[in-house]
Every structure is written in structure tokens, then in C-alpha cells.
Chain A
Amino acid sequence: MMRQFPANPDLTVEEFELNMGPQHPSTHGVLRLVLTMDGERVVRCKPVVGYLHRSIEKMAENRTYTQVIPVTDRLDYCTSMTSNYVYVMAVEDLADITVPPRAEYIRVIMSELNRIASHLLWYGTFALEVGATTPFIYGFRDREKVLDLFESTCGARLLYNYLRIGGVSRDLPEDFCERMLAFLDEWEPLIREYEDLLDENPIFYNRTKKVGFLSAEKALAYGVSGPNLRASGMARDVRREHPYAVYPELEFDVPVRTEGDVFARYRIRMEELRQSARILRQCAEKLPGGPYLEPQPLRVVLPEGETYVHLESPRGDIGCYLVSQGTDKPYRCKFRTPSFCHIAVFQHLVRDCLIPDIMAICASFDVVLPETDR
């Protein structure tokens, strides 16, 4: 698009299109951003998604209810436990299955550990986007310890396939709580170290303060949820508003900030790390004995009906809408994922930004493409 100088029509300024991705070292997954640039500033940004579409929802229609669980692993592979959980919760809601209390506690422990792992991954990649290479290694080093805990429980590091309809697939190992508490004791002071590296650094400050401002109205209009919404001033957390599992019995704070910029989103996730540690300690204390699974028949048949459940994943509000027609396979299983809405609002935040800002904003939103494309 050309613009002319009114005084001298022969002088024109042309915008040019820059294509970022789908293969790019920094977009989180296969995201394509079509940027229209005026020099160094972005005029328009059009995200193109769908490169990672694997028809998970269609696959779910051809599998029995238990067979769908490994497929939901791949929905958001950074928080596989949560993806499992939302689906299993939907099935249990529709079938009116009660889960034993030990299983509820185990599920919460796994969700919060997964939150820590996901936020550590986010911390590493966020710092890497901004240019600091060292926090990346720090985040991943500590994430390894969480993954060790997962591996001892369910045998996998990333795609757990751990939850089952009616509970979890196997019990926690004998020394799980000791090891988890040992990890928390060793790691919680390190959060301070992570913050020290970045918080007071003027370079980091200048790159994240007042960058990518998201107002509360726009956030609500686009369905933004999770830490991104809480950074814009709205105190919404599914664990508080529609509590599930044992969250009503646990004490934790929900951090909220009003600035709505990249720095606010960063600070909220760092605070959430501490809150997750707090929840884990309470769970370790209160973990009851008893069965870890309410055994279900091999072929689970659900009554006719539909339900929608949602819970708080590290990215935001993830929901599952399940429709059953009385058979052993779901009729329709739709997942409402937070990253989809975040990418939609993201394109409106990057107007008049420089390319490095786009990276910082995209990283601060914690968008994962598998969740967006399903």
C-alpha cells in the first residue's frame, strides 16, 4: 500500500509484507504471522493458524471414552495432565461418577506440578525471546526435576496419559511426597534467583514495561483468560469461581495486576509459581489414603446428554463440551482452548510495535499452537 506526500506526489512510502513463520526459531510452535510493515513498525498483523491441526476432536468421535484420553494428551502437550483432566472431568460429570478423595488429591497435585513445569518452560522461552539465554537453562534444569517426579509416577515425561475415568491409572510411588517436598524446599528459593536475573534489569524493564497493553474490556471481549486476564485487572480464576476437585479446601492466593503489559503478565506467572508450591505443600499434608480409582467397565457407556466443564490450565480457561448419544463413543467432543482466543487478540496488540516487541508480546501470552489448532 502506498502513501503519498501531499506536497510532492512523486514521493511515495511503500509498506512491505514480512512473513514470520511457520518455520521460525522463535514463534511458539508453527504459527505464521503475516506482518505488514512500515519501515520497522508493524502496521497490520494477521496470524495464520492451522498448521498443527490434527483433527483431535474428530478422532475423539471414533474412539471409546477411555481411548480418547491419550489423544487429549496431545491437545496441549505442555500441560498434558490438565488436558486429560478436563476431558475426564466432562465424562465423569455426564456419567455421574464419583471419584475417590485420594484420586482427587492426586489429580490436584499433578495439575499443580504441571503448572509449575509449564510456567518454568514459559519462563525459559520468554527470557530467550527477550534475548537472555541463561534463564532458559535455569528454567529447564528445574523443570527436569518435576519431570523426574512425573516419570516415577506414570512413566512418561511429557505425554502422561495418567488420568482415567473414575480416578488415576496408578497410585503414587511410596516416596513421592517426600521427594516432592524435597524438590519444593530446594527449588522455591530459586524463584528469587530467577526474578533477580530479570526484574531489576533496565534492559528487560524497558523491553517489557508499557509494551503490549491489553485492556480489561478488550480481554473480556475476546475471551482472554488465565494469567493474561489477571494481568489486565480482572480477578478471574476458575479455581475460585467454579471450584472443582479439592480446591475449596485449599488456601491459595490469586495474583492480580492492573498494568496489562508484558511485565505484568511475567510477574503474575512468577507469583503463580509460588502459589502452586503452596498448594502442593497443603496437598502433601492432607493426602488421604484409600483407593485411587473407581473401577469402570472396559467399555464405558454414557447416558444421553451433554455437558460443559472447564478448569484452570496454566494458560487460562480450558473447557470441554461433551455430547453423548448413549453409546460408548462420544458423539461430539469440543475443546475450548485459551490459546485460540489469545492469538485472536494478539494481532490487535502489535500495531505500531517493532519486531522485537512482537516476540516479547507473543512470548508473554504463553501461546501454544497444538492447543490452538487441535
Chain B
Amino acid sequence: MIYDPNPVAFWLLAAMVAGCALAVVRARKLFHAGLALVGTLFAVAGLYGLLQAWFLAAVQVLVYAGAIAIMLLFAIMLTHNMMNPDLKSLTTQPWTAAALCLMLLAILLGGTLSSTWQTAPDTTLSPTWTPKCGFQVAEAIPSVQALGFRLLDPFTLPFEMVSVLILVSLIGALVVARRNPALPEAPEGREEKAP
């Protein structure tokens, strides 16, 4: 099924992605960079929505913007001063960096525009879908169900491997976050002189 997204919507979202990405790099306070990153992720979710991949859009917001970016913000808040001083730029050779970036952009654009993208076959299961209440519901294309079936049928092994990977990372996080027994404990309260 060919879907023609609204060009205004596309350009708005693309501008938001690019603008927020630029803000991430150029922001003076680290926390602002974190917020701009969240903006980028939201805009990308919007782009997924434009492509009618609703589930992916929701999961992008839920996982990326909602968990990963928030963890990033926590880390930013917990380290160092509360109000960050200005971050100085660490680049020593700006022109070489710019040239390399432009070359990378040229390669990516060339590759993206000239290749033929292979898409999965049509993901409709049936033209109309019958929920349990017994009567027809008009024209629903349940992408979530399609995804679910695909995960169980051709892509079982990657699905199981991903769950094992998540389990491994969970255990790793627990191990890392454990209270370090080698850390010296706080000494017993010394009596302080009166001010």
C-alpha cells in the first residue's frame, strides 16, 4: 500500500530533528543538551508515525525518550555542579573536522539516494479484521499484530537472542550498581566545634 505523507509534516519534523541535533552539540549547558536530545528522539518518533509505523513510534518514545534519555539526564544531574559552567569547545582543528563531516555527509546522501530500499511484503493479515464482538470493523491494519506474528514465525531466533541480551545487561547493571564493599565507610561522627 502506497502512503503519501504530508510534505509539510515531513519537513517540520525533519527540521526539528536536525535543529535539536544541532542544539545537542552546541548547547552551553549539559542539561540543555540532554533536553535537546529528547527533542530529537521525539521528532524521530514523529517520523516513524508519518510512515505509519505506530508501534515503533510509541516504543521509540517509551524506550528512547522515556527511559534512556531520562537515565542520561539523571547522570547529568548527579555528577558535578548543579548549574554546569559553560563547556568549552575541545576542537583544535575545526576546518579538518568540517571537511571530514562534509565528506561523510556526501557519502551518506549518495548512498541513501541511489540505493533501492528493500521493504517487507505487505503486512496486512486480512483485509478486514474481526474482533471478538462479532461484527466487522472497517479497514483496520493492525501493525502490532503483524509485528507479533513475524516475531514468532520467521524471526524467532533474533527475538530470543534479544531477550537473552536484555537479561545479561540487567544482571550486569545490578552487579555494577552494587554497593562497593571496598569503599571506606564514613567514620563515626566526630564532635564538631560550635560555630
- Shortest distance between the CB of B140 and any CB in chain A (Å): 45
Q: In the assembly, what is the distance between CA of A26 and CA of B183, in Å? A: 34
Q: In the assembly, what is the distance between CA of A38 and CA of B179, in Å? A: 13
List A29-76 residues whose CB lies under 8 Å from chain B. Answer: 38, 43-44, 46
B192 within 8 A of A: yes
B184 within 8 A of A: yes
- Residues on A close to B: CB < 8 A? 1, 3-7, 13, 15, 38, 43-44, 46, 348, 351
Across-interface contacts of A348 in B (CB, < 8 A): 189
Across-interface contacts of A5 in B (CB, < 8 A): 180, 182-183
Across-interface contacts of B186 in A (CB, < 8 A): 1, 3, 15, 38, 43
Q: In the assembly, what is the distance between CA of A46 and CA of B180, in Å? A: 28
Contacting pair A46 B183 (CB below 8 A): no
- Shortest distance between the CB of B185 and any CB in chain A (Å): 8
- Shortest distance between the CB of B77 and any CB in chain A (Å): 13
Q: In the assembly, what is the distance between CA of A12 and CA of B189, in Å? A: 20
Q: Is the interface of B mostly helix, strand, loop or mixed?
A: loop
Given contacts A6-B182, A38-B186, A351-B189, 18 further A-B contacts (CB under 8 A): A1-B186, A3-B183, A3-B184, A3-B186, A4-B184, A5-B180, A5-B182, A5-B183, A6-B183, A6-B184, A7-B182, A13-B183, A15-B186, A43-B186, A43-B189, A44-B189, A46-B192, A348-B189
1/0 per residue, CB under 8 A from A, across B171-195: the answer is 0000000001011101001001000
- Shortest distance between the CB of B60 and any CB in chain A (Å): 32
- Shortest distance between the CB of A31 and any CB in chain B (Å): 16
- Shortest distance between the CB of A221 and any CB in chain B (Å): 15
A sample of 7 cross-chain residue pairs with beta-carbon separation below 8 angstroms, ordered by A number, consists of: A1-B186, A3-B183, A3-B184, A3-B186, A5-B183, A6-B183, A13-B183
- Shortest distance between the CB of B57 and any CB in chain A (Å): 36
Chain B, residue nearest A41 (CB)? B186
Q: In the assembly, what is the distance between CA of A236 and CA of B186, in Å? A: 36
Q: In the assembly, what is the distance between CA of A19 and CA of B189, in Å? A: 17
Across-interface contacts of A4 in B (CB, < 8 A): 184
Across-interface contacts of B184 in A (CB, < 8 A): 3-4, 6
Across-interface contacts of B192 in A (CB, < 8 A): 46
- Shortest distance between the CB of A96 and any CB in chain B (Å): 42
Chain A, residue nearest B180 (CB)? A5
Chain A, residue nearest B192 (CB)? A46
Q: In the assembly, what is the distance between CA of A265 and CA of B184, in Å? A: 35
- Shortest distance between the CB of A305 and any CB in chain B (Å): 35
Q: In the assembly, what is the distance between CA of A4 and CA of B180, in Å? A: 11
Q: In the assembly, what is the distance between CA of A15 and CA of B187, in Å? A: 12
- Shortest distance between the CB of B10 and any CB in chain A (Å): 46
- Shortest distance between the CB of B74 and any CB in chain A (Å): 13
Q: In the assembly, what is the distance between CA of A7 and CA of B182, in Å? A: 8
Chain B, residue nearest A48 (CB)? B195
Q: In the assembly, what is the distance between CA of A345 and CA of B46, in Å? A: 59
- Shortest distance between the CB of B85 and any CB in chain A (Å): 17
List B138-195 residues whose CB lies under 8 Å from chain A. Answer: 180, 182-184, 186, 189, 192
Chain B, residue nearest A14 (CB)? B80
- Shortest distance between the CB of B193 and any CB in chain A (Å): 11
Q: In the assembly, what is the distance between CA of A46 and CA of B194, in Å? A: 10
Q: In the assembly, what is the distance between CA of A15 and CA of B189, in Å? A: 13
Q: In the assembly, what is the distance between CA of A6 and CA of B186, in Å? A: 14
Chain A, residue nearest B183 (CB)? A5
Across-interface contacts of A44 in B (CB, < 8 A): 189
- Shortest distance between the CB of B81 and any CB in chain A (Å): 11
Chain A, residue nearest B80 (CB)? A14
Q: In the assembly, what is the distance between CA of A38 and CA of B180, in Å? A: 14
- Shortest distance between the CB of B178 and any CB in chain A (Å): 13
Q: In the assembly, what is the distance between CA of A5 and CA of B183, in Å? A: 5
1/0 per residue, CB under 8 A from A, across B62-99: the answer is 00000000000000000000000000000000000000
Chain A, residue nearest B189 (CB)? A44
Q: In the assembly, what is the distance between CA of A211 and CA of B169, in Å? A: 35
- Shortest distance between the CB of B79 and any CB in chain A (Å): 11
A-B complex: 10 closest residue pairs judged by Cβ atoms: A44-B189, A43-B186, A6-B182, A3-B184, A5-B183, A38-B186, A7-B182, A46-B192, A5-B180, A3-B183
